Amino acid sequence: MTAHLAPVAPFDLVIFGGTGDLALRKLLPALLRRYADGQISHDSRIYGVARQAESDTSYRATVGAALARAVGDDPVLQARIASFLELVAYRTIDATGDAGWAELAAELLAHGEARVRVFYLSTSPQLFVAICKHLRDTGLNGGNARVVLEKPIGHDLTSAAAINDAVGSAFTENQIFRIDHYLGKETVQNLLALRFANALFEPLWNAGRIDHVQITVAETVGLEQRASYYDGAGALRDMVQNHLLQLLCMVAMEPPAALHADAVRDEKLKVLRALRPITGDNAAVATVRGQYRAGAASGKAVAGYLDELGNRDSRTETFVALKVEVDNWRWAGVPFYLRTGKRLAERVSEIVVTFREVPHSIFDESAGRITPNQLVLRLQPDEGVKLGLMLKEPGPGGLRLRHVPLDMSFAEAFGGHQPEAYERLLMDVVRGNPTLFMRRDEVEAAWRWIDPILSAWKDIREAPKPYTAGSWGPSAAVALIERDGRTWHEDTL
Ligand code: NAD
């Protein structure tokens, strides 16, 4: 819902990688929506930057076509595209060269030092160092400048620290916005609201009342256009190091003293530091790696990973399931089961908190089994929250219990368009609010926990377990949770 809009001050936003997939498919449509809602004023400027030669006119045509695709048949947004494109310009710069930077700097600095300048690095991370060096050398890093870094920030702790050092030599930590778009999702922010704006949940939010937590981020897509990046990364680096661990932190963190960036991030950091290490000793039982074989996705036959990649030797995991323990007072003995993968049965991202069973049942057998309460936070599709409760089936003839949902779909509850994560996050950058962005120590703490898993896998030298495209992953992932007498959540509510 966009009823309470706070317009942002006019700004300059420079998107390095302005011709890329992320810029055209996500960032520019998000900006159009904020513009159409009146949050972005007409004197703001959006510069696409990339190395290919383009004019403002040709770039606007490319952006216009991408926007038209993104907004579909929404007549209000379609009608605003032409006016939005007046904000858009293009500058040709090869990030690795010296040409074009002085001109860009002169143009931006002419807008005044006080104006907010956002540099969005929507490029391969290999270019981050060169871009930041040029921004520093041309004096574009001062005043109200901010830099946004896309994932992946490194492929291990050492490389992440190197990127952070390089970016840190041009920008101070409070100018750096490391984006994890999962944190911009309404449901994730609603997790904060549910936990900390209701008296109901927090007293139950601990090992005494919660049995376990599941976090699933399932995709139906395969490699798409990301083959070379993905094959070098795998599901653990691509999804768990950032998105799944960030979601885990939001569930597990202690209440921050206030909704201030550092208060929230301090609490998330404590969770990351409390994660029990998964090393050579326990990797074989606490982790499952999988790789999809041929099967079906969205009703169509699809090739297996190795054929899609064109390399029969790859051992990259396209699926991972983990049993994670948070070694602190609140969560002792409460497992967090994480799973993510490509070519799975459904596209769904959700957090499921399963409460403990009632200590004693007063009902006789004919009433049916009492299912533990479950809080399901769905991030996609259809963002919303469901709380599974046991109720009596209506009607005479004895008391029969049924597990029914208190269901709150955000689209139904609040109506209208649910803002995309990037809409919220881009406006937070312009406003200078880093609460939903990752601080350096968080990113590095996450890698510090991930690195031993990667090296344990290397030592074990086992090929990832095959699973059929369109399934829920290898059977070992089912065994991982069933061994503990639990099952992966199925949407039965
Ligand atoms: P892409 O390959 O589609 O685009 C890369 C952009 O960088 C292009 O505009 C290209 O022209 C530009 N570029 C390449 N070399 C350059 C150079 N030397 N100088 C200047 N510009 C140069 O990639 P993408 O999918 O848009 O992803 C960009 C970044 O965002 C990557 O790090 C990716 O991992 C990350 N990311 C992408 C998505 C997504 O949905 N596409 C999601 C999350 C993170």
- Give tens-digit pLDDT for 1-22: 445 688 999 999 999 999 999 9
Is residue 423 within 8 Å of residue 412, measured between CB atoms?
Answer: no
| Cα 60 from chain centre | 29
**Which pTM was predicted?**
0.94
Question: How much helix, strand and coil, in percent to the nearest 5, is found in the chain?
Answer: 40, 20, 40
Report CA(21)–ligand 1 centroid distance (Å): 7
Quick check: 372 and 357 in contact, CB under 8 A? yes
312 CA to middle of ligand 1, Å?
Answer: 27
Element (H, E) at 468: strand 465-468
DSSP symbols for 72-114: TT-HHHHHHHHHHHTTEEEEE--TTSSTTHHHHHHHHHTT-TT
* 113 has pLDDT over 70: yes
Minimum CA distance residue for ligand 1 atom 40: 22
Ligand 1 interacting residues, C-beta cut-off 6 A: 17-23, 50-52, 94-96, 122-125, 127, 150-152
pLDDT band at 186 (very low <50, low <70, confident <90, very high): confident
Domains of the chain: 11-181 (3.40.50.720), 185-421+434-482 (3.30.360.10)
Strand 287-293 and strand 465-468: the pairing is: parallel
Paired with 13 in beta bridges are 46, 118
Q: Whose CA is nearest to atom 6 of ligand 1?
A: 17
Amino acid code (one letter) for 360: H
Mean pLDDT check: name the lowest of 346-360, 394-408, 475-489.
Answer: 394-408
Among candidate residues 130, 84, 140, 135, the one with its CA nearest the CA of residue 108: 140
What CA–CA distance (Å, rounded) separates 127 from 150?
11
Q: Who's near 151: CB < 8 A, 6+ residues apart? A: 178, 179, 180, 242
Burial of 275 (0-12, 13-18, 19+ CB in 10 A): buried
Work out the pLDDT band at 197, boundaries 50, 70, 90. Answer: very high
Ligand 1 atom nearest the C-alpha of 23 is 26
* 40 pLDDT higher than 60: yes
> How much distance in Å is there from the Cα of 19 to the middle of ligand 1?
8
Q: What is the position in ligand 1's atom list of the atom closest to the CA of 19?
A: 9
> Which long-range contacts does 485-491 make (Cβ < 8 Å, 24+ apart)?
486/211, 486/212, 486/337, 486/354, 488/214, 488/216, 488/337, 488/339, 489/214, 489/216, 489/350, 489/352, 489/354, 489/374, 489/376, 491/348, 491/376
Mutate-to-test residue for ligand 1 from 123, 181, 223, 230, highest number of ligand atoms within 8 A of CB: 123
In percent, how much of the chain has pLDDT > 70? 98
Model confidence band, residue 325 (pLDDT cutoffs 50, 70, 90): very high
Give nearest CA residue, ligand 1 atom 21: 50
Which residues, 6+ apart, have CB-to-CB distance to 229 below 8 Å?
124
Closest Cα to atom 38, ligand 1: which residue?
22
User: Average per-residue pLDDT in the chain?
Assistant: 94
- 114 CA distance to ligand 1 centroid (A)? 29
pLDDT tens across 446-455, in order?
999 999 999 9
Q: Which of 64, 321, 108 is nearest to 216 (CA)?
A: 321
Distance from residue 309's CA to the centre of ligand 1 (Å): 20
Q: Going by CA atoms, what residue is nearest to atom 25 of ligand 1? A: 21
Quickly state the pLDDT bin for 492 (edges 50, 70, 90).
low
The two three-digit tokens of residue 481, written as one number: 């949770």
374 in helix, strand or coil?
strand
Distance 65 CA to ligand 1 centre (A): 19
CA angle 74, 89, 104 (to 5 degrees): 150
Buried b or exposed e, range 52-68, using 16+ CB within 10 angstroms: eebeeeebbebbbebbe
**Residue 66 clears pLDDT 90, i.e. is over it:** yes
Predicted local confidence at residue 3, as pLDDT: 52
- What are the residue numbers of the active site? 243
Work out the burial of residue 265: count CB atoms within 10 Å of its CB; fewer than 13 is exposed, 13-18 middle, 19 or more buried: buried
Given pLDDT bands bounded at 50, 70 and 90, which one contains residue 380? confident
Residue of the CA atom closest to atom 11 of ligand 1: 50
Query: Among 216, 210, 287, which residue's Cα sits nearest to residue 252?
Result: 210
Residue 224 has pLDDT above 50, yes or no: yes
Q: Check whether 333 has a pLDDT greater than 80.
A: yes
CA-based radius of gyration for the chain: 24
Q: Residue 78 and residue 90: Cα distance in Å, rounded?
A: 22
pLDDT (tens digit per residue) in 281-300: 899 999 999 999 999 988 89
